[in-house]
A and B are shown apart, each in its own frame.
Chain A
Amino acid sequence: MGAAAVAEAPSGGLLAWIATTDHKRLALRMAIVALVFFLAGGVFALLIRTELADPGLQLVGRDAYNQLFTMHGSTMVFLVMTPLALALGGYLVPLQVGAADIAAPRLALAGHWLVLAGGLTMYSSFLTDHGAGKAGWTAYYPLSGSSATPGTGMDLWVAGVILVGAGLTLVAVCLLATIIRLRAPGMTMLRLPVFSWTMLATVLMVVMSVPVLAVGMALLLADRLGASIYETSGGPIAYQHLFWFFGHPAVYIMFFPFLGITAECVATFARKRFTGYRPLILALIVFTGLSMSVWAHHMFTTGQVINEYFSLTSTALVVAAGTEYFAVIATLIGGAIVLRTAMLFALGFFLQFLIGGLSGVILASPPLDYHAHDSYFVVAHFHYTLFAGSLFAGFAAAYYWFPKWTGAMLRESLGRIQFVLIVLGTNLTFFPMFLLGYDGMPRRIANYSSDAGFTDLNRLSTLGSYLIAIGVAVFLYNLYVSLRRREPAGDDPWEGHTLEWATTSPPPRFNFHSLPPITSHAPLLDRRLAAVGGAGKAEPGTER
């Protein structure tokens, strides 16, 4: 479709790029910023793994190590996974609901700049005398207080998190308003595509939980500057409540959008309507509700929360999560599956996240958590959910929607190489951590004794992390090659089901010249089936 050129006419050069209110440009920029921070966080991870390959201290000192894992964790959570989730939503939700733009685009723009400013503030802490933030991404008080961790670096880290929190909330509000107010005629809530539903659940959780983080951090900053807010017998536990009231919904903020991506990929590449749409929506709503009442399962070992209550709510998530898994499997069965790279990454998410989820059921049991808490078992668990899970779906999204974003295809062959490298690397890196944690290795240590028996498994893990690095390099090369020597994608290379495939690649400034009738959550599939008389037989040689 050559018509795209009309809408792509630049208007004002650099300023237009900085101050754009086009949700597509804005979202792509958020995603690029997240990618850059991902590479920085990845370098920290490689330094951490290299240090841990041998007992003793070789590469960095203990203080530098503490900065590395603090910045790795806070980068990946605050600056990569959450902004990436909102960036994907920012690009796709307006398209999927048939809107011309995001609601309140200037607010979304402000949100993006706040996230970037917060990230730069956090990173500026490296330039201070005492170094960067080094109290862990959780920044527990009193360790994060001014007497245990003095210095402006830590102040800047806290201030950065506040800015990021404010920015994320603004972007989420815009997406919420888009879904509620800007749906095209005929796009009822029960015709909303699965990805948009998962984004709705996500932004609800952001709006409810991220402001609590910002408040907790603002109080911490005041405390560091002399207000003595948490400096009471109940202060340290109060900080943990505020932090995890954000922190647990946050892990589903970094899960739901990626589940939605997987659902879209699975339906498209099984060439079949997503099965169990309504139960999935119900499960999402239940999950969202429960997610607000599970936070203290991070605090079982404090002896200061009602462990039974939080164990019950956390374990009950199994019912909602199981329903989501059922829907995806039911979609696969009876389909006509095409294993494109996007589908491989989606299935990779689905299976590897399961390992993270099932180990989470173990951690939701207080007596098992009394051993596993704060050990490498937990590190393995959340990396299976976030890296082996969500980031795999992030790659699935890249391969699936890159044609829509750029009008060009990513290379399949490079994608497959990347997939194999990252699957091997991921499992080699993170599976040994389950065993290390069970054997008694605490998290956040730079050094371990050679007679502790941790050496071999740590070496495997470090080796795996290098494989991941090579896989990520292949991905970057793929981006470069695919943009440099473009293979035109066309409007709808995958025979997609949802409205973003009904417009050009990339879409015009206001997304659609005309909309097809919206008859279900898969309007383009409906149109395709209607075109062949509903007999389930596609005309030969329709697309591609």
Chain B
Amino acid sequence: MRVGPATFVQALIDTRDEFDDLWALYLPIGVAVAAIVFGLVLFAVVRYRRRGDDLPGGREGLPFIEGLYALLLAGVVVFLVAATFRTNDRQTELASDPGAEVDVTAFQWGWRFTYPGEGVTVVGDDRRPSTLVVPTDTTVRFNLRSRDVIHAFWIPELRFKRDAFPRRETTFDLSFEEEGPMETGRCAEFCGLAHGEMTFDVVAMARPEFRDWLRRQRTAGEIQREEPR
């Protein structure tokens, strides 16, 4: 495995951090807007209850205030979209020099993980999920495709998913910070009978251990169906 300066020059993108930062921008704005609207309606309903037979005078409109308000909304839109674009660029950028590569094939109903150039393949099915093993502290390149219908590769803990299409490869990068098993990965795109069972386990390990694991898989056989340990 190459451990040259290039690996460290390109900052690792943690999709979870990226998601959390953007979420921390959107959610409070949403909650604030909801609070304002709920407050205004509650205020109006209490303060302006009907008290007699008088018909209240009505204004046709408030053009100046409405114009200003529309501009304010447009400002919020620009602000949110700009933040979204920045995050999106970072999340979808492909590293020039990924530290590991996995070919992912989704099928009804399971996952096959192949490590190109390593001669290692891990397969599961809807009864026995397969395990995705990845190294930490480096960019992992994923080449995703489907053997039949559309599936989606989702690792909830990384806050990231991508659809798997037949006859078409989708490429993306992820990085894994913490060693150890992660929350179950799942198929997110409805794909038929056993869609709900189409899960996979994820284990991240430090790079030396990852090399050892690959070596053990190679000696254990061309196709490894057992859980790695």
Which A residues are closer than 8 A to B by beta carbons? Answer: 62-63, 66, 135-136, 140, 142-143, 148-149, 232-233, 236-237, 270-279, 301-304, 307-308, 311-312, 315-316, 318-319, 322-323, 325-326, 329-339, 347, 350-351, 354-355, 358-359, 361-362, 365-368, 370-371, 373-375, 439-440, 442-449, 452, 525, 528-529, 532, 536-540
Are the C-beta atoms of B37 and A329 separated by less than 8 Å? Answer: yes
Are the C-beta atoms of A333 and B152 separated by less than 8 Å? Answer: no
Give the number of residue pairs across the A-B interface with Cβ within 8 Å: 254
Are the C-beta atoms of B70 and A322 separated by less than 8 Å? Answer: yes
Are the C-beta atoms of A62 and B81 separated by less than 8 Å? Answer: no
Report if A276-B61 is in contact (Cβ < 8 Å); known contacts: A233-B168, A374-B161.
yes
Report if A337-B49 is in contact (Cβ < 8 Å); known contacts: A347-B41, A365-B26, A537-B54.
yes
Q: Is the CB of B212 closer than 8 A to any CB of chain A?
A: no
Are the C-beta atoms of B196 and A447 separated by less than 8 Å? Answer: yes
Report if A275-B60 is in contact (Cβ < 8 Å); known contacts: A302-B165, A336-B51, A529-B55.
yes
Query: Closest approach, in angstroms, between the C-beta of B19 and any C-beta of chain A?
Result: 6
Q: Is the CB of B85 closer than 8 A to any CB of chain A?
A: yes
Are the C-beta atoms of B163 and A302 separated by less than 8 Å? Answer: yes
B37-73 vs A, CB cutoff 8 Å, 1 = contact: the mask equals 1101100110011111111111111110010011001
B166-200 interface with A by 8 A CB criterion = 166-168, 170, 172, 183-184, 186-197
- A371 contacts which chain B residues (CB < 8 A)? 19, 156, 159-161
Are the C-beta atoms of B53 and A142 separated by less than 8 Å? Answer: no
- Report how many residues on chain B are interfacial, defined by Cβ distance under 8 Å: 80
Query: Closest approach, in angstroms, between the C-beta of B37 and any C-beta of chain A?
Result: 6
B138-153 interface with A by 8 A CB criterion = 148-150, 152
The answer for the CA separation of A363 and B91 in the assembled complex, in Å, is: 16
The answer for the CA separation of A373 and B161 in the assembled complex, in Å, is: 8
Interface CB pairs A-B, < 8 A, 5: A322-B70, A354-B34, A358-B33, A366-B84, A370-B161
Contact of B73 among A142, A149, A322, A362 (CB under 8 A): A322
Report if A316-B168 is in contact (Cβ < 8 Å); known contacts: A336-B56, A351-B37.
no
Contacts A315-B84, A325-B37, A374-B189 aside, 18 further interface pairs with beta carbons under 8 A come to A236-B150, A276-B62, A277-B61, A307-B92, A319-B74, A322-B69, A326-B66, A329-B37, A354-B34, A365-B22, A366-B88, A367-B91, A374-B152, A374-B154, A440-B186, A444-B196, A446-B196, A537-B53
Report if A367-B40 is in contact (Cβ < 8 Å); known contacts: A319-B74, A444-B190, A445-B196.
no
The answer for the CA separation of A266 and B40 in the assembled complex, in Å, is: 14
Contact of B192 among A148, A279, A528 (CB under 8 A): A148
Report if A444-B195 is in contact (Cβ < 8 Å); known contacts: A148-B149, A276-B66, A307-B88.
yes
The answer for the CA separation of A63 and B195 in the assembled complex, in Å, is: 11
Are the C-beta atoms of B56 and A142 separated by less than 8 Å? Answer: no
The answer for the CA separation of A232 and B167 in the assembled complex, in Å, is: 8
The answer for the CA separation of A446 and B193 in the assembled complex, in Å, is: 10
Q: Is the CB of B117 closer than 8 A to any CB of chain A?
A: no
Report if A536-B150 is in contact (Cβ < 8 Å); known contacts: A233-B167, A278-B61, A374-B161.
no
- A301 contacts which chain B residues (CB < 8 A)? 152, 161-163, 188
Are the C-beta atoms of A362 and B191 separated by less than 8 Å? Answer: no
- B23 contacts which chain A residues (CB < 8 A)? 362, 368
Are the C-beta atoms of B62 and A362 separated by less than 8 Å? Answer: no
- B56 contacts which chain A residues (CB < 8 A)? 270-272, 334-336, 536
